[in-house]
Amino acid sequence: MQNEIPLWTPSEEARRQAPMYAFMQACNERFGLSLSDFAGLHAWSIEDRESFWTAVWDFCGIKGNRGERALVDGDRMLDARFFPDAELNFAENLLTESGEGDALIFRGEDKVRDRWSWDRLTATVSRLQQAYRAIGIRKGDRIAAMMPNMPETIACMLAAASIGAIWSSCSPDFGEQGVLDRFGQIEPKLFIACSGYWYNGKLQEVSEKVAAITSRLNTPAVIVPYAGDAPSVAAAVPGSKTLDAFIAPFPAKAVEYVPLPFAHPLYILFSSGTTGIPKCIVHSAGGTLLQLVKEHRLHCGVRPGEKVFYFTTCGWMMWNWLVNGLAAGATLCLYDGSPFAPDGNVLFDYAQEEKFAIFGTSAKYIDAVRKSGITPISSHDLSSLRLMTSTGSPLSPEGFTFVYDGIKSDIQLASISGGTDIVSCFVLGNPLSPVWRGEIQGPGLGLAVDVWNEDGKPVREEKGELVCTRAFPSMPVMFWNDPDRVKYRAAYFERFDNVWCHGDFAEWTEHGGLIIHGRSDATLNPGGVRIGTAEIYNQVEQMPEVAEALCIGQDWEDDVRVVLFIRLASGVELTEGLAKAIRNRIRSGASPRHVPAKIIAVADIPRTKSGKIVELAVREVVHGRPVKNREALANPDALRLFDGLEELKS
């Protein structure tokens, strides 16, 4: 990898103006330290977690009673408790501002535009809070939503959090069974759904699906107007009301914020569910708030009034991440629908018009823009944009290069990685360090991230398992319906005792950064040598003939052989010459061990609702094993393309 010169280096002035720098100086003064760079700050943050997380609480102005104790049983990951004496309310910490300034800006493709002031948001939360209580919703009850990423969704969540109800959401493109597989486990007292939604310029109807879901959940519904006619949808769903009718009896007044313990449940998020019923991961109000305030304020440097955008749906944890930007006083820019409707410029038009400071998206989106030929650097004024973040899958070195050559040259690019399991990031960017091509800048503050080999020993010059060796606030408080924590232990602690094993295949870099090579349970093992699938994608997906790729290991003759599936660009055929070119590219760009034994063209690649390709599900199909939860996929029919392929029988 050609990493002799960083792609971006913060100026000394920019470093000193960063909130992370101010935090570091405040810690130096408060605790008698002499920290001067990110590496030193991170080392201290995991050596003295009590002082670090206390300092985050105070520096970021968390509203609530912190209590005296910062950490109890900190050496036992499953039993550690952060701020056990604290009381706070999550919603109170997000409704930070008042007045007519923008809190939320919304675009639904090119069909809908809306703006919500802080006063409008707070008033709507107040009315929803009263409406929830009027139907008997109390602390600990669940509210489930199948909603677009729109302002009403955030208001509904904040109203739930204000009274201690537990929020769970998915996007409206989920199928009926996919919704029930999730919400059926948590037995919500209220179901909130949109009247319809737009995708790729087309109106998507939901009334029959909503009626079926509410019937099987046996719960009332609130229909939020968006696409389609809300009164008509409500009329077709027994026991439902429109949002306007639901809150009509309740005038806005001051929001009542119920003080709750730090560990009180806030969100239920779900694993992807591509190999079984999704796991229900419960996150705490205090842990989520503190961890994400740290990421927004310190790692991303968010300041009040800045505009923060993330391209996400309500079925991806990046929605929960984005919403927390309100706690920093930011204006959130929301988008729902296809990022290419009406064309590939739509999000960059949005960024230019609203003057985004932060543009968050997925690695797949960046690659799609690169392949489309769009170059916003020459077509759009992105002068306000200072930070671009990428997640969902590893961002290739070529993706890094494209951001600087095709989007903006003077920008911090932060590849970030974590997930639903921790509703945040293990590794991400920071404003004090350079950006190197193909590398994540470093671990999150307060997170004892490391890379271990199969023997449970730290490694610096080889790939291994991404682990976290000490407890942190945003660990799940539990899995729903898992009273003995059997599922919880199996998910993270079976591999190494008292150490969180995240399931990513990673390596440290010489600069103190990290590279994620894909999910470790999807790594390939030909000849007993572990290979990350991302290393193959980084090569083959740079070829113009290949639109997308998916790679698995197929059990073959007492070993494992590498099989590469490719979705070809329009008008391209898989010839012997192209197959040879692909193998040569992989051999020279990765290694001979990465070269696939089989290359097979397919019409589609299956992916989750958040756009992640599903290697494990394809591997199961190829080996003749059932995939238990196809409803978790955005395009479940694509799996049929991999069943019984003749090319895999020899």
The larger pLDDT score, comparing residue 45 to residue 621, is at 45
User: What does the pLDDT average to over 100-111?
Assistant: 97
What pLDDT shows up at residue 275? Answer: 60
DSSP category for residue 497: T
Q: Is the pLDDT of residue 528 over 80?
A: no
Q: Is the pLDDT of residue 525 over 80?
A: no
Mean pLDDT of the chain: 94
pLDDT tens digits, one per residue of 197-213 = 999 999 999 999 999 99
Output the pTM of the full model.
0.89
- Token pair for 481: 């319906």
What pLDDT shows up at residue 438? Answer: 95
Residue 115 banded pLDDT, cuts 50, 70, 90: very high
For 523-649, CATH gives: 3.30.300.30
What pLDDT shows up at residue 3? Answer: 54
pLDDT tens digits, one per residue of 74-88 = 999 999 999 999 999
Q: Is the pLDDT of residue 1 over 50?
A: no
pLDDT tens digits, one per residue of 360-379 = 999 989 999 998 999 999 99
Domain coordinates in residue numbering, the chain: 118-261, 523-649
Q: Please tell me the distance from the alpha carbon of residue 446 to that of residue 448, in angstroms, as a whole number.
A: 7
CA distances from 410 to 6, 96, 308, 316, 435 (A): 12, 31, 18, 29, 11
Q: Please tell me the distance from the alpha carbon of residue 133 to that of residue 121, in angstroms, as a whole number.
A: 18
User: Options 3.30.1180.20, 2.70.150.10, 3.40.50.980, 3.30.70.100; which CATH number does 118-261 get?
Assistant: 3.40.50.980
User: What does the pLDDT average to over 110-122?
Assistant: 97
User: Half-sphere exposure (CA, 13 Å, Cβ side) for 421?
Assistant: 20
pLDDT tens digits, one per residue of 227-272 = 999 999 999 999 999 999 999 999 999 999 999 999 999 999 998 7
User: What does the pLDDT average to over 128-153?
Assistant: 98
Is 531 in a helix, a strand, or coil? Answer: strand
Instruction: Specify the DSSP element, H or E, that contains 270.
Output: strand 265-270
The larger pLDDT score, comparing residue 336 to residue 630, is at 336
Q: Is the pLDDT of residue 26 over 90?
A: yes
Of the candidate ranges 85-89, 257-261, 529-533, 602-606, the one whose mean pLDDT is the lowest: 529-533
Q: Is the pLDDT of residue 531 over 80?
A: no
What pLDDT shows up at residue 96? Answer: 93
Q: Is the pLDDT of residue 452 over 90?
A: yes
Beta bridge partners of 332: 104, 308
Q: How far is CA 181 from the centre of its chain?
A: 20
Q: Are 137 and 190 in contact (CB under 8 A)?
A: yes
